[in-house]
Chains A and B, each alone.
Chain A
Amino acid sequence: MAQAKPKKNGAVEKKLIGMADVVIAAAQRAKDPTFAIPIRALSNVSFNPRKGLIEMGEKKQARSFFNVGMAKKFMQTMLVADALSELQRADLTTSLREIYYRTKHTIQDSHENTFDTQDESDPIIEDLEVSLVALREELHVRAENSGSIVGPVVFGDDGDRVDCAKLGKGGYSVPSIVEPEYLEIRRCTADFLLLVEKGTQWNRLSEDKFWRRYNCVLLTGNGQPPRGVRRLARRLHEEHRLPVYVLVDNDPWGYYIYSVVKQGSINLAFESQRMAIPKAKFIGLSSADPERYELPRNVGIKLNDKDITRAKELLNYRWFQKPAWQEEIKRMLANGLKFELDALANKDFQYLTKKYLPRKLKEKDWLD
């Protein structure tokens, strides 16, 4: 599995240099230099029900230099490729934001910037990930560290032993790159993994030592889980056979977070292979919970127009076609309400730890 670092870097760097070769070769033959970039959109992904994964399709779009609409993007693509290859050569990792600053400058003899905002450079990095079939980690681009883990698991991080059972209620901050060559899982005695959408609930569970009582690992990504968090969950699931449960708000965004954890994202579908956890379960909040746990209607929030459109879109996704899921989403639409995890505090500050999750686990009340 864990390939030696230098060899891997060499491969990625070669791919990046290959982009320069495309330009040179086209120029020699008086052709318009063009890259074929796989399309990162719903139109170009398919759901593989057997594997339970979203997979990227074959559709590609041309990015040509001598086309008014694409010229700037083409130029930007070359600049990003150049910056990425610099990282490879120097064996450094960096953030999306730093790449933006590294590649931003004013074009000679003009008042035009190569990039005006980071919104222009981020998608280009994603373009390169899919075109070169290289993971972001392999491109040495890291996301912000924004995940936390606590529970009976021991890591080796740069030679340091990190026992997540002995880090108090703060836990261990999940690095953005958790590939085996960067982070080693030395021991894991937990029975399952609970991936919590929000930091608030993760803190509550950690403070209440829920993980000790139920012998589990608590993981959060503070919202949409970053890649490091997803990848770590996947590794614990794969390497230590931990069942994964996902706890999110009851709204379309929560469903979507769950689906990304489970079968991958549309945007970076090719990464599903290494990120997705097809066996992950949705433990809550379910649209059935308010009734079952007697949450008063007044702690709900009315679905707005966007929520409704979004929920209807989800209903059409191939991976939400199971009857239980159709029922789940339709019930939310029928109620016309969404509920935040925080709303459980209406009953008791420790309701989540003491009543909600224990009952859920006991009743095996989850969706697949």
Chain B
Amino acid sequence: MKPAPAVTAVEMGTRQREISVSEFFTKNRHLLGFDNPRKALLTCVKEAVDNSLDACEEAGILPDVTVKLETVADGQTPATPSQATRFRVTVTDNGPGIVRAQVPRIFAKLLYGSKFHRMRMSRGQQGIGISAAGMYGQLTTGKPVKVISRTGPRATAHYFEVQIDTKKNEPLVHENKQIEWTQPQGTEVAIEVEGRYQKGRASVDEWLEQTSIANPHVRLVYHTPEGETKEYPRTYHELPPSPKEIKPHPYGIEFGMLLKMLQDTKSHTVAGFLAGDFCRVSPALAEDICKAAKLSPDTKPRGVKPHLAEVLYKTLQTTKIMAPPTNCISPIGEKAILSGLYKQIKGEFYTAVSRPPAVYRGNPFIIEAGLAFGKGPEESVKPQQAAMPLAEGEDHGQDTELARVIRYANRVPLLFQQSACATFKAVLNTTWRNYGMTQSRGALPAGPMVIFVHMASVWVPFTSESKEAIADYDEIQKEIRLALREAGRRLGIFLRRKERAAGEFRRRNIFDLYIEEVVEACNRLKGGKLPTEQLKEQLHKIASTRTGGLKTDEALGKTGAGPEGLPHSIIVTMEGIEGEAEVAQQAATAPVIAGTATQSDQRLVAKAPVKAGKKSKSVAAIKDKAGQQDLFVEPASPVKKAVPPKRRPTATRNIRKGK
């Protein structure tokens, strides 16, 4: 075989050229979320919605966002949504709008944005989102991105059609005109893309639903490709507090970043640079750091040699510096989480926990957790109906449904790579058995439950560029576990209480069940001549006095007493709602434009009447009731020498087994 001919520098030089953005994009599409047509469709929706929400919140506007997915006939007859390969994604918001001059670059230039250069919590981070979606559309359908934007009622609306010059990474404006627009303010983006629409896991539908759970302050309307309209109403009427921008903390930067900051700084001395460009570094501390790094405080930042910069970097990491301020993060808040869970998930019990801020590697963050448990009060009250009576040896198939984890970073749902995510690991590492759930070793707890985990941070550490799973730092893991533990503890209280009530309830039920049998047996024994109705009535009467009618209701929590010891929780029963009743009420009474949707798990209209205001009686009163509960034991049996009904295994049995 001939050796491969050596390549000369000249030959290589002929191949060295600028890499076009389209090449860059095609090579990196998996990092940007365009791996396959189904995910690509979701990513387009996600980028546009994230931008709308970020813009609205920054402008102090309660977001009103409409998402529309339409199939596009690809030359031939229009395909059904599940078969279609081409879609138009249109996202409209009521945000601040975009000034005319910026529109082309925002939508048709990669790596152009307002968020990359700031240390501030937001959904988007890299200025790559919406233009990448546009680029994807352009590459797969050849169609330009269509944008309408209006910055206020008195401004005119502008319509744009833009594409990227893939060689230069510069926008090409195809169309730009003033138009009449019904909206007084906001932005509308329409992108035509190759995609696939499929419901279920990691679908557009799931993403929007989860978005609405973590963002109950958003009103979201979704026109599905099937022509349905789903509305996720606004159930929380306050904007999240606006996060503040902060300077980086010395612990949170990489060495490369330090070098870059040294180049970019406006300060003329290293001491000034340290004190001015980092948070928590006072001028005095800056001097100390310089001294420790054996660096003159007056050195010009750009003059620091790389090996000295390395010493400076190490010194920064080992110097004791106060943790960064945490007011730069805006948590969702317990009330809002409750509201989101309650409106979107049918259940019997909801709770939410926001941890105090913590810090990992100089980055402040907040962990929030929530639980929605149960199948809804209707479901839990009616006895589960088995399809058929059981044969000997059969048993009721245990409910093996596992809990579902919904994960968020800065309010954005994470739908992929669940098992790599710190949140998921923390859920597995929590001993749910302590809180009355069943859980196999190393598995999710079993039962009808949704576990909500949110990490809010200026800089969420992802495991990879595709930003799908949160990296497992010890500090983060610990905070998630603490949050889950508190939520679990409250669930445990709820479950124990419910079990106690169910005991009472079941008691009455079994009597009702058996009275029929006993009366019929008596009737047959008496030769069929018994006034059975009368006997039944008498027995039912005894049953209800023995089980204590009112007390059962109390144990079931039907008397309006709030959930004692359960902060930031909602309990839903057939009769009403306890706990954070205002939250639930807001969710229940929010204006609803019911679409044709037949979503089973979507609480479009809350059915339960709300007992707001009737909040908990005093703790003492409740304790009192518990006391009564205990007094209510088995009726004294009329036989004097009663022994416990448990029969000791007889000798025969024992010995037979031993054989």
Contact = CB atoms under 8 A, between A and B. Distances in A.
Contacts of B642: 60-62
Contact of A66 (B511, B517, B657): B511
A34 interface: yes
B392 A117 contact: yes
B651 A256 contact: yes
B538 interface: yes
A81 interface: yes
Interface stretch (A202-210, A287-295, A302-310): A302-310
A36 to B, nearest CB: 5
Given A20-B526, A42-B648, A69-B645, A79 B538 contact: no
B652 interface: yes
B658 A43 contact: no
A117 B394 CA distance: 11
B414 to A, nearest CB: 41
Nearest to A317: B651
Interface string A70-113: 11111100110110011000000000000000000011111111
Interface stretch (A23-31, A147-155, A232-240, A345-353): A23-31
A72 B392 CA distance: 17
A59 interface: yes
B517 A17 contact: no
B654 A310 contact: yes
Contact of B652 (A23, A27, A85, A265): A265
Contacts of A109: 513
A113 B535 contact: no
Interface string B376-415: 0000000111101110110010000000000000000000
B549 to A, nearest CB: 14
Interface string A161-190: 000000000000000000000000000000
Contact of A27 (B517, B535, B545, B638): B535
Contacts of B385: 111
Contacts of B535: 23-24, 27
Contacts of A114: 517
Interface string A348-365: 000000000000000000
Contact of B514 (A20, A107, A267): A107
B350 to A, nearest CB: 30
Contacts of B507: 68
A263 to B, nearest CB: 13
Interface in A271-318: 304, 306-307, 310, 313
Contacts of A85: 524-525
B521 A79 contact: yes
A224 B657 CA distance: 13
B538 A67 contact: no
B526 A17 contact: yes
A241 B518 CA distance: 48
B647 interface: yes
Contacts of B621: none
Contacts of B383: 110-111
B307 interface: no
B538 A28 contact: yes
Contact of A20 (B510, B525, B541, B656): B525
Nearest to A304: B658
B526 to A, nearest CB: 5
A135 interface: no
B645 A27 contact: no
A313 B389 contact: no
A47 interface: no
Contact of B639 (A24, A36, A75, A116): A36
B651 A42 contact: yes
A67 B517 contact: no
A32 B538 CA distance: 11
Given A34-B639, A113-B389, A117-B392, A72 B651 contact: no
A134 interface: no
A37 to B, nearest CB: 9
Contact of B635 (A40, A42, A64, A253): A64
A61 B510 CA distance: 22
Contacts of B386: 111
Nearest to A23: B522
Given A75-B518, A107-B516, A266 B650 contact: yes
B530 to A, nearest CB: 7
Which interface class (under 10, 10 to 19, 20 to 34, 35 or more) fits B?
Answer: 35 or more
B521 A20 contact: yes
A73 B643 CA distance: 16
A217 to B, nearest CB: 26
Interface string B624-659: 000000000011011101110101101110111111
Contacts of A66: 511, 542-543, 546, 635
A129 to B, nearest CB: 14
Contacts of A123: 647
A330 interface: no
B520 to A, nearest CB: 8
A63 interface: yes
B389 A82 contact: no
Which residue of A30, A42, A307 has the most chain B CB atoms within 10 A of its CB atom? A30
Nearest to B659: A253
B539 interface: yes
A39 interface: yes
Contact of A256 (B389, B396, B655): B655
A199 to B, nearest CB: 15
A40 B514 contact: no
Given A24-B530, A32-B542, A110 B655 contact: no
A253 B658 contact: yes
B368 to A, nearest CB: 41
Contact of A78 (B389, B521, B635, B656): B521
A72 B514 CA distance: 7
A78 B515 CA distance: 11
Given A17-B525, A61-B642, A111-B385, A72 B654 contact: no
B525 A27 contact: no
Nearest to A308: B658
A132 interface: no
A62 B658 contact: no
Given A20-B525, A66-B635, A71 B389 contact: no
Given A20-B522, A65-B518, A110 B513 contact: yes
A332 to B, nearest CB: 14
A19 B525 contact: yes
A59 B648 CA distance: 14
A351 to B, nearest CB: 24
A228 B74 CA distance: 88
A113 B525 CA distance: 21
Contacts of A42: 648, 650-651
Contacts of B647: 39-41, 123
Interface string B523-552: 111100010000100110111011000000
A274 to B, nearest CB: 18
Contacts of A17: 525-526
Given A71-B514, A266-B652, A61 B645 contact: yes
A113 B511 contact: no
A30 B511 contact: no
B630 to A, nearest CB: 15
Contact of B634 (A28, A36, A67, A307): A67
Contacts of B657: 306
B651 to A, nearest CB: 5
Shortest 9 CB-CB contacts between residues of A and residues of B: A306-B658, A111-B386, A62-B637, A62-B639, A106-B389, A27-B538, A78-B521, A20-B525, A20-B522
Given A32-B542, A266-B652, 5 more contacts: A24-B522, A24-B535, A40-B647, A61-B642, A81-B525
9 contacts: A23-B522, A32-B546, A42-B648, A61-B642, A68-B503, A69-B645, A72-B510, A252-B655, A267-B650
Interface of B: 383-386, 388-390, 392-393, 396, 503, 506-507, 510-511, 513-514, 516-518, 521-526, 530, 535, 538-539, 541-543, 545-546, 634-635, 637-639, 641-643, 645, 647-648, 650-652, 654-659
